Structure formats: C-alpha cells, structure tokens
Amino acid sequence: MAAKILPVFKFATKVTIAGGALYVAYDSGLLGDSKEGSVTLGRAKAAIPPAVEEWMKYFGFELHATPKIEFSPLDAWNSGVQKSIHALSVTPSTVSDYTKQGLQYVKDLTK
C-alpha cells in the first residue's frame, strides 16, 4: 500500500514546492506593476543587512566588511554618453584643424 501512495505523495510534494514558489512571487508583487516591483526591491534591499547580521551571529564568524565601492553605473553611463556625443559634435572642426595643420606642414617642407 505504501508503494502505491509514494508516487502520489512525491507528486503532491512537487506541486506544493512549485506552487509555493509561484505564490511567493505573486504575493510579493514581483509579477505585478512596475511600481510594485520597485517597492519590493526597496524592501528587499532594506531587509538584507539585518538578515546577513543574524546569519553571522548564528554561525558565529565574522564576515570581513565588504569594501564600499564608490561606483555608480548610472553616472558612468551618463558621462560616457555625454563624452561620446561631445566628441562626435567636435569631430568636423577637429578634423579640419588637423588637415590645415598637415597641409601647412607639407607646404613648409616644400618651401
């Protein structure tokens, strides 16, 4: 009798695990509107440091402090875009300057 119930039991466990994961994702607003998602992200960010501390206390070892990386991808991207477009916009005048200088140099050579 146990051999007959085992597959059913296994299937029920699998459905519970998968269904639970799906429900957690739905309940925490991960599958909803864009605003709900950013709210959840904010909550998760706020909840990570206390959770990490609790785990450290539980295991009884000290995790060395993560070095503060002063890098903002947004600022880096924005400054990259600005620099590229600025370079593109000054290209014609720069090229004409260099051409003039080059021609002047060649003229000087032939004098």
- The footprint of another protein (CB under 8 A) covers 14, 17-18, 21-22, 25, 30-31, 33-35, 37-38, 40-41
Task: Name the DSSP class of 111.
Answer: -
Smallest separation, CB 75 to another protein (Å): 14
C-beta closer to another protein: residue 17 or 48: 17
Amino acid at site 28: S
Smallest separation, CB 68 to another protein (Å): 22
Smallest separation, CB 64 to another protein (Å): 27
Return the H-helix or E-strand segment holding 99.
helix 73-110
Number of H helices, E strands in the chain: 3, 0
Smallest separation, CB 98 to another protein (Å): 36
C-beta closer to another protein: residue 22 or 103: 22
C-beta closer to another protein: residue 14 or 57: 14
Buried b (16+ CB within 10 A) or exposed e, 40-75: eeeeeeeeeeeeeeeeeeeeeeeeeeeeeeeeeeee
